[in-house]
């Protein structure tokens, strides 16, 4: 290359992006295949939309400005129209449904798995490109559609190897909270006050009932002395909301009765209760009890976006976080009803409900639980003593592959020492050597690299594992495949 | 929605992009899985790089301009650095290798499957987003690495169901042609003349030997009378080149001997011949003869990019094109040696070789051959007579799924007529009905929708298929799953 060093580009990843390889990709592929198998068995159809959408179709223009939101990656096409990379799989679904409404079988039930991009500030563990796995039912207001998604999510988590008790799917309904507010005399179109109430509820875990009560009333002074202005509700109004989100009921039935009392004067609240009951009835009849899917008024995720049922799947087991603290793993999937997305295009409300799995988070969770089972098959590397012999080496790997083994010939130019180093670096289980003396006797040598590595460690605890096994064995060339299978079985 | 119609975005796909669903996605998934299985058995490791690269890392800045090439989708990051979406999987591989050169096991053998984007003018069948499946070996000049890729490609095409004779993989070496030029006294750094020669050779199929000879000499007048200036070679020089690309040899061995004569005075040509012979020797020893992988001097693909061996897999069977003409399907994969990509970053030449499969083209070819086998499993739709009964319907699909069937409950709000229409539109094989009378008797009704559709056609040819089968049958609820399996077996 004639370019001098200063002119050469740097080999670096863009900020917030990463390369992935080997075991991580194999594990993710296994995860995606399992989810897909369950979703297909439920009759959901695959749909793939492009990476790009018109920015206006994504609803991502900045208010009153002719430029896209900075949260999405956008560029101008050569005909001066703005394009953006999808930031989720729901907005493209809405565009697809609106464009094909007449021809789609309805309810339209589709799953989609794909990369989404967020033009956000990257940080440790925060990437600007990641994978989502969604399932949505569009065109049905029937609570059976929600119940189906919840059961499918539970089946998926168990198909991935999670035990009952390792996860809990929480169910709430946005209309219930609206009903409580309305019945308490708080106008739903008083968005500012409603926002303060929502944010207060969201702090229940951190501030407890008293803290939330203060925020619902006049306001609250925190430890530092800072004062947060409250929603200004009366004691009675605040009490209603607390009775909803932090119930003192002894069981789910009593809690539902309390809620019925709270929302009875609100049509919205009553509708929410009817929907909830219909979902719970199906779940109960199919054996999906509160040990798997439970009603929880504390789930307030994305309330501005959702219009009815909301769901969240949480993993309940503890993991160690970056600071070395034990924490509950938390949310890996969520969703709910959204009735307005298609209406953006058509003007007609189309009822829809969906769930979305955050693939990287779920993968990390399964890994923490030792459930990333999709390990790669053991690798066999055939070394090449003399390049003139490489055809013989290729014949060997051909036989091995025909027997279902993962095998490769060393195709570099290195000497034998380099070839063994290569096999080690590749994490190979076995290296094969066929030198001229061996060939003359019709033999090949199998080097057990896992055992060799253990012997090299020279620690006492190895004794049991090593036993009287040999790290190297010469076998008949004709028996190569069966001898490899024997060795792999011994070490597994 | 309060917005009036004029303010609503249009639900439309960006130009040059498309949605894909159902059977096409299922077929592509099957295709990708088969390729992956073969590549994994060969010990290639998966690698996934991000959609974005820095534009300078892709080498896609316009000459002497501080803006990216229009052929790639590019945007400025918030730190003013240009990012581009990858247009192939090789440039990101080079960046990955350059960035991780010290830690990678070498030769580094990786496969990658992913979306690539081209910012080009879209047209019918020409999309700006498509999938590539690549395998590359980086860090080895050993011809065994090329031979391995060629055998892997042949194995892949056969694993996809293509018969020997349906495909041919052609092999050439760029150094041979350079050797012919050099031995003929044509300077390789006379890029303009070399370009004319390359373009002339590329027209061999269309213009024949005489036409190419004219273009290698003084020039050629076409039917319209237009004159194309030639390369200005002497007759003897032109003859050498024609002997290379349009040999009169009776077999491959004689052809190789002729080439040896042509290039013997050129070191480059001799190196090409040695490489070619080493590849052919391995292929021959492993039984990959010229019926699968053949030497063909006519393959001149991307000669400016490749530095040694070049490959192209072609499908030899005829298909009907858009104009209704029978044509040979042609190229579905290609590749070769490229030794300069990593050097862009590091200044050091790193020998590399690779193959790339154009997934959409291969999928279309398999489809034309009736080999898109990954059909979806038959679907069973359980109708809901009364919404109060939906739990019973969910219990039915649960039993079916446990038996490995693909089944769904109708989750919309339609009446029975709508539900049957839905099942038809979904392409369901069977619809299940459990009305109140049936339930009282412990029965359910199975409607054979495929048979029903056939009956509705009212044509004579149906008689044989229809036979004495019934389109509707009532069975014991307890025997539901086994009766469905019986029906599916009957119709398959």
A352 shares its domain with A429: no
Instruction: Specify the pLDDT at position A374.
Output: 62
Selected residue of B91, B390, B481 to mutate for chain A interface (largest A Cβ count, 10 A) = B390
**Which token pair is A380?**
């066999």
User: What digits encode the pLDDT tens for the residues A300-351?
Assistant: 765 567 889 999 999 998 888 778 888 888 899 999 999 888 998 999 999 9
B334 shares its domain with B407: no
> Which is more confidently placed, B243 or B486?
B486
| pLDDT at residue A49 tops 80 | yes
Instruction: Specify the pLDDT at position A1.
Output: 43
Chain B nearest-CA residue for A1: B347
Which CATH number goes with the domain that contains B224?
3.30.930.10
**Which token pair is B247?**
């040999």
**Mean pLDDT across chain B:** 89
A351 shares its domain with A391: no
Instruction: Specify the pLDDT at position A463.
Output: 57
Instruction: Specify the pLDDT at position B458.
Output: 59
Nearest to A412 among B1, B73, B140 (CB): B140
B327 shares its domain with B392: no
Nearest to A139 among B48, B397, B412 (CB): B412
Percent share of chain B, pLDDT over 70: 93
B115 shares its domain with B191: yes
* Residue B12 within any structural domain of the chain: no
| pLDDT at residue B303 tops 70 | no
* Cβ-Cβ contacts under 8 Å, A344 against chain B: 1, 3, 8-9
DSSP A164-179: BTTEEEEEEEHHHHHH
* Residue B127 within any structural domain of the chain: yes
**Nearest Cα residue to B345 out of A386, A375, A7:** A7
* Residue B7 within any structural domain of the chain: no
- Residue listed under structure tokens 């987003």: B129
- Long-range CB pairs of B346-350 (<8 Å, 24+ gap) are B346/A8, B346/A11, B346/B98, B346/B101, B347/A1, B347/A3, B347/A5, B347/A8, B349/A1, B350/B97, B350/B101, B350/B138, B350/B139
Question: Which helix H or strand E contains A447, and what residues bound it?
Answer: strand A443-448
| pLDDT at residue B186 tops 90 | no
B168 shares its domain with B271: yes
Question: Which helix H or strand E contains A294, and what residues bound it?
Answer: strand A293-295
| pLDDT at residue A2 tops 50 | no
| pLDDT at residue A354 tops 80 | yes
Chain B nearest-CA residue for A58: B9
d(CA B310, CA B288): 17
B361 shares its domain with B403: no
**Which token pair is B81?**
């650095």
d(CA B93, CA B351): 13
* Residue A10 within any structural domain of the chain: no
Which stretch of A400-404, A461-465, B88-92, B485-489 has the lowest confidence by average pLDDT?
A: A461-465
Task: Write down which residue in B344, B368, B392 finishes a domain.
Answer: B368
> Which is more confidently placed, A478 or B123?
A478
Q: Provide the pLDDT confidence category of residue B302 given band limits of 50, 70 and 90.
A: low
User: What digits encode the pLDDT tens for the residues A103-126?
Assistant: 999 999 999 999 999 999 988 878
Which CATH number goes with the domain that contains A472?
3.40.50.800
**Mean per-residue pLDDT for A407-435?**
95
Instruction: Specify the pLDDT at position B374.
Output: 62
> Which is more confidently placed, B100 or A264?
B100
Selected residue of A40, A41, A87, A158 to mutate for chain B interface (largest B Cβ count, 10 A) = A41
**Mean per-residue pLDDT for A19-31?**
91
**Mean per-residue pLDDT for A128-136?**
97
Percent share of chain A, pLDDT over 90: 63
* Residue B384 within any structural domain of the chain: yes
**Mean per-residue pLDDT for B60-82?**
85
> Which is more confidently placed, B286 or B328?
B286
**Which token pair is A465?**
């594992």
| pLDDT at residue B81 tops 90 | yes
Q: Provide the pLDDT confidence category of residue A249 given band limits of 50, 70 and 90.
A: confident
Task: Write down which residue in A340, A368, A396 finishes a domain.
Answer: A368
* Cβ-Cβ contacts under 8 Å, A87 against chain B: none
Nearest to B20 among A48, A94, A105 (CB): A48
Domain count, chain A: 2
A122 shares its domain with A263: yes
**Mean per-residue pLDDT for A436-443?**
94
CB contact under 8 Å between B109 and A343, yes or no, is: no
* Cβ-Cβ contacts under 8 Å, A47 against chain B: 19-21, 25
| pLDDT at residue B465 tops 80 | no
**Mean per-residue pLDDT for A32-36?**
96
A132 shares its domain with A205: yes
* Residue B453 within any structural domain of the chain: yes
Selected residue of B83, B144, B285 to mutate for chain A interface (largest A Cβ count, 10 A) = B144
Task: Write down which residue in A349, A368, A387 finishes a domain.
Answer: A368
B161 shares its domain with B109: yes
Percent share of chain A, pLDDT over 70: 93
> Which is more confidently placed, A191 or B317?
B317
Instruction: Specify the pLDDT at position A176.
Output: 92
* Residue A3 within any structural domain of the chain: no
* Residue B13 within any structural domain of the chain: no
Residues of the domain holding B96: 22-368
Q: Provide the pLDDT confidence category of residue B157 given band limits of 50, 70 and 90.
A: very high
B304 shares its domain with B393: no
B322 shares its domain with B226: yes
């Amino acid at each position: 290359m004639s370019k001098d060093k200063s002119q050469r580009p740097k080999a670096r990843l863009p900020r917030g992006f990463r390369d992935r390889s080997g075991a991580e990709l194999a594990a993710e592929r296994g995860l995606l295949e399992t989810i897909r198998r369950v979703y297909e068995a439920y009759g959901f159809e695959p749909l793939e939309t492009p990476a790009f959408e018109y920015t206006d179709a994504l609803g991502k223009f900045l208010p009153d400005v002719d430029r896209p939101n900075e949260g999405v990656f956008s560029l101008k096409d050569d005909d001066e129209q703005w394009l953006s990379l999808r930031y989720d799989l729901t907005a493209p679904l809405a565009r697809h449904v609106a464009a094909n409404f007449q021809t789609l079988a309805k309810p339209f039930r589709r799953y989609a798995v794909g990369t989404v991009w967020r033009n956000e500030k990257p940080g440790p563990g925060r990437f600007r490109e990641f994978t989502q796995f969604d399932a949505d039912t569009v065109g049905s207001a029937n609570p059976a559609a929600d119940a189906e998604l919840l059961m499918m999510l539970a089946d998926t988590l168990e198909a991935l190897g999670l035990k009952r008790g390792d996860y809990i799917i929480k169910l709430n309904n946005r209309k219930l909270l609206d009903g409580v507010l309305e019945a308490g005399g708080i106008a739903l179109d008083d968005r500012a006050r409603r926002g303060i109430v929502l944010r207060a509820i969201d702090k229940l875990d951190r501030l407890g009932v008293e803290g939330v009560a203060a925020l619902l009333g006049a306001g609250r002074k925190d430890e530092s002395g800072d004062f947060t202005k409250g929603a200004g509700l009366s004691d009675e109004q605040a009490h209603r909301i607390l009775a909803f989100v932090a119930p003192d009921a002894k069981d789910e039935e009593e809690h539902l009765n309390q809620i019925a009392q709270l929302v009875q004067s609100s049509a919205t609240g009553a509708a929410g209760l009817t929907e909830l009951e219909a979902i719970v009835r199906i779940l109960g009849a199919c054996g999906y009890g509160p040990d798997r899917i439970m009603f929880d008024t504390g789930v307030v995720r994305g309330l501005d976006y959702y219009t009815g049922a909301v769901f969240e799947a949480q993993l309940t087991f503890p993991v160690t976080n970056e600071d070395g603290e034990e924490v509950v793993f938390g949310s890996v999937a969520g969703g709910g009803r959204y009735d307005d997305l298609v209406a953006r295009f058509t003007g007609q409300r189309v009822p829809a409900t969906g769930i979305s799995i955050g693939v990287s988070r779920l993968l990390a969770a399964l890994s923490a639980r030792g459930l990333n089972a999709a390990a790669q098959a053991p690798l066999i590397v055939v070394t090449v003593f003399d390049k003139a012999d490489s055809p013989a080496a290729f014949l060997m790997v051909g036989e091995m592959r025909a027997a279902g083994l993962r095998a490769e010939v060393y195709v570099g130019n290195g000497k034998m020492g380099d070839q063994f180093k290569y096999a080690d670096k590749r994490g190979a289980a076995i290296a094969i050597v066929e030198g001229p003396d061996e060939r003359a006797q019709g033999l090949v040598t199998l080097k057990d690299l896992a055992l060799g590595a253990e012997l090299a460690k020279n620690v006492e605890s190895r004794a049991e594992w090593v036993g009287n096994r040999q790290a190297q064995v010469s076998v008949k060339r004709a028996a190569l495949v069966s001898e490899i299978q024997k060795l792999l079985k011994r070490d597994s």
